[in-house]
Amino acid sequence: MKVVRLYGPSDLRVEEEPTPALAVDETLVQVKAVGICGSDLHWFSQAGIGDTSLASPLVLGHEAAGVTAAGQRVAIDPNIPCGTCEPCLQGNPHLCLNVRFAGHGEQDGALREMLAWPSRCLVSLPAALDEAAGAMLEPLGVAMHAVDLGKLRPGFRVGIFGCGPIGLLVLQLARAAGASEVLFTEPLPHRRAAAQRFGGQPWHSGLEVDVAFECAGENAAVEDAIEAAKPAGHVVLVGIPDDDRTSFQASTARRKGLTMRLSRRMKDTYPRAVQLVESGLIDVNSLVTHRFRWEDAAEAFALAQRREGLKILLGPA
């Protein structure tokens, strides 16, 4: 089978490997769609992310869906929690101390033709969702978890700082949750246009919001989010900075008495995500702008690194 492995910065190689053997609790999935995430781009450009570095050639990819040998179409939850550590027992599997996560550290991900994955981490897809939409459930889940942390209520004015796929999904969720107005910042014209298509309006200094979502991984976006948040407001940091550092003017945040939350991945969001997409409340399909074959993975990652398009998927020809 074809496998896409990262050997170092910008060094992706398409290789042939045997079909993986199944453990007793696993199911074999033929992978049909894998999205390129911003965190994948950190691995691709830096051979690491945060405080984790590439130790051996790694298969990236955690936004994925496919078909089992029994013909069941499934989304693949990339998070494999241990279920026994304190965060898991407290209902926070996304904060598991012993987590294995697809395409991170030593856990190979989904950029391959066949994937052996824990059966408990496979989510059945309804007829209305194809595999591309199934792959988009993971970034939607990330956006949903961020919105949950923001304590968004109907009638709130919301700010979104960075409108890549996650920011655009947060925007849609905010509108679906009854936000009175959704304001945004985004330097790239095609992403600004997408944000306006989904009902967002450009933010400018002086406009206050009840909840601000930083979705860019840039300190400038963090500063804007803090400036925009009203006194006693919420700021949710979703983006991952390149240098693993976030800084902002403390006096502004302190004077306003802001509540700041850092969002990590997602927390049991797949059932709700399926319902939101199936009902038509959230549009994931229009975010998919490019599709590539496994063989063209390097081209796909280069395109994503240039921030062209929105969501880029890889899969079989």
Q: What is the pLDDT of residue 290?
A: 98
Q: Are 164 and 185 in contact (CB under 8 A)?
A: no
Is the domain of 194 the same as that of 231?
Answer: yes
Q: What is the pLDDT of residue 305?
A: 96
Residue 268 lies in a domain: no
Tell me, yes or no, whether 83 lies in a domain.
Answer: yes
> Which residues, at least 6 apart from 117, have a Cβ–Cβ distance to it below 8 Å?
26, 27, 29, 76
Identify the CA nearest to 158 among candidates 67, 228, 96. 228
- Residue 309 is predicted with a pLDDT of 95
Q: What was the pLDDT predicted at 190?
A: 98
Same domain, 120 and 149: no
Q: List, in sequence order, every residue forming a beta bridge with 235; answer none if it has no partner.
A: 212, 260
Whether residues 254 and 298 fall in one domain: no
**CATH number of the structural domain spanning residue 90:** 3.90.180.10
Residue 62 maps to a domain: yes
Which SS3 state, helix, strand or coil, does residue 183 take?
A: strand
First to last CA, the chain: 13
Helix (H) / strand (E) element for 125: namely: none
Q: Give CA–CA dist 311/143, Å, rounded.
A: 14
| Domain count of the fold of the chain | 2
52-53 vs 79-80, strand pairing mode: unpaired
Beta bridge partners of 293: 315
Q: Are residues 291 and 236 in the same domain?
A: no
Question: Which pTM value belongs to this model?
Answer: 0.97
Instruction: CATH number of the domain at 156, please.
Output: 3.40.50.720
pLDDT tens-digit map of 208-243: 999 999 999 999 999 999 999 999 999 999 999 999
Query: Does the CA dihedral 8-12-16-21 come out positive or negative?
Result: positive
- Rg of the Cα atoms in the chain: 19
Burial class (CB within 10 angstroms; exposed 0-12, middle 13-18, buried 19+) of 71 = exposed
Is residue 90 a part of any domain in this protein?
yes
Is residue 273 in a domain?
Answer: no
Q: What is the pLDDT of residue 317?
A: 81
The answer to whether 69 and 116 are in contact (CB under 8 A) is no
Specify whether the CB–CB gap between 160 and 170 falls below 8 A: yes
Q: What is the pLDDT of residue 171?
A: 98
Same domain, 154 and 111: no
In whole angstroms, give the CA distance from residue 177 to residue 174: 5
* Rounded Cα distance, 170 and 166, in Å: 6
β partners of residue 104: 107
The verdict on 95 and 209 lying in the same domain is: no
Question: What is residue 86's predicted lDDT score, i.e. its pLDDT?
Answer: 98
Q: Is residue 272 part of a domain?
A: no
Same-domain status, 23 and 103: yes
Q: Which residues contact 233 (CB under 8 A, 6 or more apart)?
A: 208, 209, 210, 211, 212, 256, 258, 259
Are 114 and 146 part of one and the same domain? no
Helical H segments across 150-295, by residue range = 165-176, 189-197, 219-228, 250-256, 270-279
8-state DSSP, 71:
S
Measured CA to CA in angstroms, residue 156 lies from 34, 47, 176, 239 at distances of 34, 40, 12, 22
Domain of residue 15: give its range. Answer: 2-124+284-315
Q: Is there a single domain that holds both residue 116 and residue 201?
A: no
| pLDDT < 50 regions, the chain | none
Residue 267 forms part of a structural domain: no
Q: What is the pLDDT of residues 48-91, one digit of tens each?
A: 999 999 999 999 999 999 999 999 999 999 999 999 999 999 99
Q: Which two tokens stand for residue 18?
A: 């045997």
On whether both 24 and 74 belong to a single domain, the answer is: yes
Domain assignment present for residue 136? The answer is no
- The residue behind tokens 């990590």 is 264
